[in-house]
Structure 1
Amino acid sequence: MNYLRGEDERLISNETVLTTAACTSNESSQECRGGVGSLATIFLMVNATLGAGLLNFPQAFDKTGGIVIAVVVQLIFLVFITAAIVVLAQASDSTNSSSMQDTLAGLCGPKSLILCAICVAIYSFGCCVTFLIIIGDQFDRVLANLYGSDFCHYWYMSRSFTTTVCCFVFILPLCFSKRLDILSYASSLGCIAVIYVVWIIIYKSPVTSGLPAKPMKQWPDHWTEIFQVVPVVCFGYQCHMSVIPTYACMKNRQLGGFTVCAIVSMLTCFVAYSIAGIFGYSTFGTGKVPGDILQGYSDGGTFLMVAIIAIAFKNFTTYPIILFCGREALIGLCTEYIQSLIMPRVILSLIWIALTLVVAIVLPDISAVINLMGSLSAAFIFIFPGVCLLQNTLIKDPLLCLNKDRFLIVFAIILLALGSFVCGVVLVEAIEDMLKEKPAPALITGFRIGLKDSLCI
C-alpha cells in the first residue's frame, strides 16, 4: 500500500505495482539487505540517460551556432533536469511509492495514475521499438562492411533474423527482473560501451589525427538557432521514467545520497555529450556534420566497427530498463486482470518483446509516430515533476507561510512553463518533419537516424 504522510492521507490501492518499494520498518532485516549502492545507482541512471542520442550531439552543436552557445544552453537545462530528478525522488518519499504513476496518483488522485501510466506505456513502447530498429541498423552496417552490399540475400544475415536473434539472446534474459537493481551490472557494461564510442569520436578528431580542424561557427547566425539544441538536450537527458524505481531500489533510500548520485550522473552525461559534440563538430565542420556521427567516418576499420557494435550493445542494456517502466505502468492500469494470470511479469514481458520485435521488423519506418510521441519526453522531464512539486508543497503548506515553500511554488511553475514550451517545440518540429517533401531523416526521440534507407542491394 502507498500512503501520503501528513494530515491528508491518501491510499493508493495498487499493491501489484509496488514491486520495488523500499523496505519498511516492520520488514525483517534479511529482506532489507537488498538494494544497490551509490555507484550502481549512478550506473543505472547514466545507462538510462546516455544512448544513441550521443551520435546526434555534434550536429546539434553545429545547428545551434557554436560550441559555446551549445554548452551554455545544455548547462542551463541541466540545472532544471537535475532538479526535476530530485523533485521526483522527494515526491516518491512523500507518497511512499516506487513509480512515477503511483507518485502522481498519491499527490493528484487516481485519475492521474491512469493518465501517467498511459503516457509511460506509450512512450516506453515507442522507445523499445526504436532501440530494436537501431540495433538492426548497426548490424546492417557491420555486415555490409564485412560481406558487401548483398549481405541480406542470405537469410542468416538478413535484418529480421539478426534483430530477432539479438533480441532473444541478449535482451530477453534481462527483461524478467522484478527489481530494477538487478540491471545495474548490465548498466555498467553499457556505460563502458558509451565511453568507447566517445573515445572513437576523440580518436577520429583533428586533435589526435593530426589533420587540420574544420571551420566552426563562433556564434549563431540567428538567435532562433539556439532552440535547435533544445529537443536534443531534453531527449538526451531523458531518464525520468526510471528515476523513482531506481531510487526505490537503493540500499539506503535517502534523498541526500540520491541527490549526489543524480548530480554525478547528469554531470557524467554532460561531459560525454559535450566531448562528443565538440570533437565531432571539429572533425566535420560547419554544415557538414552528419546526423549520426559514426556514419560520417568513411575509412571504416576495426575500431569503427567495434564502436557500431558498442552502440547496439548499449541498446541491449537500455531496453530492459525502459521495458521495466512500461511493464509496471501496464500492471498499474490492469491490476484486476493481471492478478488472475500466472507469473504476470513474465507473460507481460514476453508479449511486450514480441510486439516491439514485430513492429520493428514489419514497420521499420514509424518515424512520424515516434516523432509525435517525442513530445511526451518533455512531460516526463518537466511537467510531471512540476505537478508533483506543486501538489506536494501545497499539501504540506496550504497557506504558503514559509518562504521556502513560496520559492518551491515559483520553481514548480517554471518547470511547468518550460515543459510546455519544450513540448510545443518538439511537436511543431515533428509536424514540420512530417510535412517535408524532400527525403530527409526524421527526428527520432531527439536524434536523427535513417530508419527507412536500406544498405542492401
Structure 2
Amino acid sequence: MIGLDSEPLVQSLSSSINPDNYLDEKIYQEETPSDSRILDSVQILCNTAIGSGTLMVPYCYTSGVGSSLLMSLLFAFIGFATLSFFCLASHFTKTYDYNGLFTTTFGKGYVWIVQTMIFLVQFGSCIIYCHWIGRLVPKTINHDDDPGILGNHVFWILIFAAVFVFPLVCLKSIKYLQNLAYLSSACIILLIIHAGYWFIYGQVKHTVDISEKIVWFKFSPVLITCMSVYSMGFNCHMNLYPTLEHQKEATFRKGVKIAFFTDLVVYIVYNVFGIFTYLYLFDNLKNGSALEAYTQTNILTNITVGGIVFVMILSVPIVIWAARISINDMFWGNQPTTMRWILMAFFLTAGSAGFAASSDNVIFFFDIVGGLFTPALIFLLPCLFYLLNQHDEPFWRIFVACCICIFTVIVTIACTYQAILEVVNAFKNK
C-alpha cells in the first residue's frame, strides 16, 4: 500500500459557496499545473491502492468465492464512500489534506494524533513490503525450498534493505520513483496474465476439477484476514488531492468521479487475479503470497515474481519517504537537514527490515497494519471529518457515514483480536 500525504500546492478556496451545486465548484482558484487527465489520476490512485495486499487476495478466496466477492465489494463501496466524504468535508472546511482537516475538526493541539496514524500506516506498509521481498526473492532464483542461506527470508530482507532500499530512501526527491507508475501498472498486468495462463493450463491439462473443489461460502477466520487485506487494498485517500491539483478545472464532482473509477478498476483487478489464481491453486493457497504456491519451475513465473520484487523495492522508499515526512512534521516542523534526513532514512529502513524479519506470519502484519492502523485512518477519519463539519446534508449520507464508522470499529476489534491470537499461538508453539 503506497500513500503520500504531501502538502497541496494550494490551501485556499474562494469563500463564495453555491449551496445548491457545490460539487461543480472549482477547488482551486489559483493557477495549477493542469497537466493531467482523469485517466492519469485514476492510474496514480490505482497504483497507490494496488500494493502489498494484492498478493493476498487469492488466499481470501479460500473463504469462498462468493464470500470474497461480497467482502471486496463491500470494501470497494466503503472506499468510494469515504473518498466522497473526504471531498465533501474538504468543501465544508476549505482544507485539502489530512493534517488540515484534522486541525479544523479537532484543533491544532491534536494534530499529532493524525500524524502518528499516518506514520504507523506508512511504516507498517514498509514492513509488509520488506517481508514480501524476503519471501519472493528465493522464489525468483528457484531456492524457495533451500534450507540454506539462499532460501532464508531473513537474509534476503536484510540484504535488499541494505543494498537497494536504503540508498533509494536517502534520495531527497522521489520524483523519479513516482514516474515509474507505468512500470508498476505493467507488472500488475503481468500478474493477471500469469494467473490467467496457469488457469488455462489447468483446464487444458485437466489437472483440476473445478466443480468438485470450488467453495462458494465458508465461515472461517480467513474472513477476518479478508477485512485487513481489503482495507489496505482500497487505500488511496492521501493521494486524492495531490492528483486533483494536476487536473484542469478541478472540481469536487471530478474528485468523486475519479474515486469511483479508481475503486471500480481496483475491484476488477483484485477479483480477476483472485479468481484465476484460486481456480488453479485451490487448497494449495496458504497464508502467504499466491506466487509462492506455484511449485513448477517456469520462466513466466520467475519473470512475474522478479517484476513484483522490483516494484516493491521501488515502493518501499516512496512509503518510507511519507513516513519520514510525518515524523519530521511531528518533532521538528521545518526542512530537515541532510544529516537528519539520512539518519531518519537509516532508522526507518532498519526498523522496517527488522520487524519484517521478526516473523514468517504475514497474517499478523496484515491484521495489525490493515486491521488496526489503516481502517481508522482511511475509513473512520473521513467519515468523522464529514459528520462533524456537514451542514444540512441529506439524511441518507449521514446514515451511511455513521454505518461506516460502526463497521470500522467492528473490523478493528476483530482484526486486533486475531492478531493477539496469532501472538499467543506463536508463543505456545515455541
Cα pair 1:197 1:307 within 8 Å, conserved: yes
Query: Equivalent residue of 2:284, what SS?
Result: coil
**Alignment map for 1:27-176 (pairs within 5 Å):** 32-33=32-33, 36-63=36-63, 66-145=64-143, 150=148, 152=150, 159-168=157-166, 172-173=170-171, 176=173
Q: Hey, what's the Cα distance between the residues in 2 that align with 1:126 and 1:436?
A: 22
**Alignment map for 1:54-453 (pairs within 5 Å):** 54-63=54-63, 66-145=64-143, 150=148, 152=150, 159-168=157-166, 172-173=170-171, 176-177=173-174, 184-206=178-200, 210-212=204-206, 213-214=208-209, 215-222=212-219, 227=224, 229-285=226-282, 287-291=283-287, 292-334=289-331, 337-339=332-334, 343-344=335-336, 349-363=341-355, 364-365=357-358, 371-374=367-370, 375-393=372-390, 397=391, 400=392, 404-437=393-426
Instruction: Provide closer, same or farther for how the CA distance between residues 304 and 172 of structure 1 changes in structure 2, counting only shifts above 3 A.
Output: farther
Q: Hey, what's the Cα distance between the residues in 1 that align with 2:216 and 2:365?
A: 34
Q: Of 6, 9, 33, which residue of structure 2 is paired with 1:21?
A: 9
Q: Hey, what's the Cα distance between the residues in 1 that align with 2:13 and 2:405?
A: 35
Deviation (angstroms), 1:159: 5.0
Q: Hey, what's the Cα distance between the residues in 2 that align with 1:77 and 1:59?
A: 17
Deviation (angstroms), 1:184: 4.9
Structure with more relative contact order (C-alpha pairs < 8 Å, separation 6 or more): 2
- Which amino acid in structure 2 is aligned with residue 59 of structure 1? Y
Deviation (angstroms), 1:78: 1.3
Instruction: Provide closer, same or farther for how the CA distance between residues 348 and 408 of structure 1 changes in structure 2, counting only shifts above 3 A.
Output: farther
Q: Which moved more, 1:297-306 or 1:204-213?
A: 204-213
Q: Hey, what's the Cα distance between the residues in 1 that align with 2:220 and 2:398?
A: 30
Instruction: Provide closer, same or farther for how the CA distance between residues 194 and 224 of structure 1 changes in structure 2, counting only shifts above 3 A.
Output: closer
* TM-score normalised by L of structure 2: 0.81
Structure 1 gap ranges (5+): 1-16, 441-457
Cα pair 1:378 1:419 within 8 Å, conserved: yes
Q: Deviations over 1:24-69 (max 9, x none)?
A: 689x999633664323211221111112322211121112xx2223
Deviation (angstroms), 1:138: 2.5
Cα pair 2:225 2:367 within 8 Å, conserved: no
What is the aligned length?
A: 401
Query: Equivalent residue of 1:20, what SS?
Result: coil
Instruction: Provide closer, same or farther for how the CA distance between residues 376 and 247 of structure 1 changes in structure 2, counting only shifts above 3 A.
Output: farther
Deviation (angstroms), 1:77: 2.5
Q: Which moved more, 1:51-60 or 1:200-209?
A: 200-209
Q: Hey, what's the Cα distance between the residues in 1 that align with 2:410 and 2:323?
A: 25
Deviation (angstroms), 1:295: 0.9
Q: Deviations over 1:363-393 (max 9, x none)?
A: 5116657743441111123210110110121
Instruction: Provide closer, same or farther for how the CA distance between residues 439 and 392 of structure 1 changes in structure 2, counting only shifts above 3 A.
Output: same
Instruction: Provide closer, same or farther for how the CA distance between residues 409 and 158 of structure 1 changes in structure 2, counting only shifts above 3 A.
Output: closer
Structure 2 gap ranges (5+): 15-27
Cα pair 1:193 1:313 within 8 Å, conserved: no
Deviation (angstroms), 1:81: 1.2
Partner of 1:4: none
Instruction: Provide closer, same or farther for how the CA distance between residues 208 and 326 of structure 1 changes in structure 2, counting only shifts above 3 A.
Output: same
Q: Hey, what's the Cα distance between the residues in 2 that align with 1:102 and 1:30?
A: 19
Cα pair 1:171 1:320 within 8 Å, conserved: yes
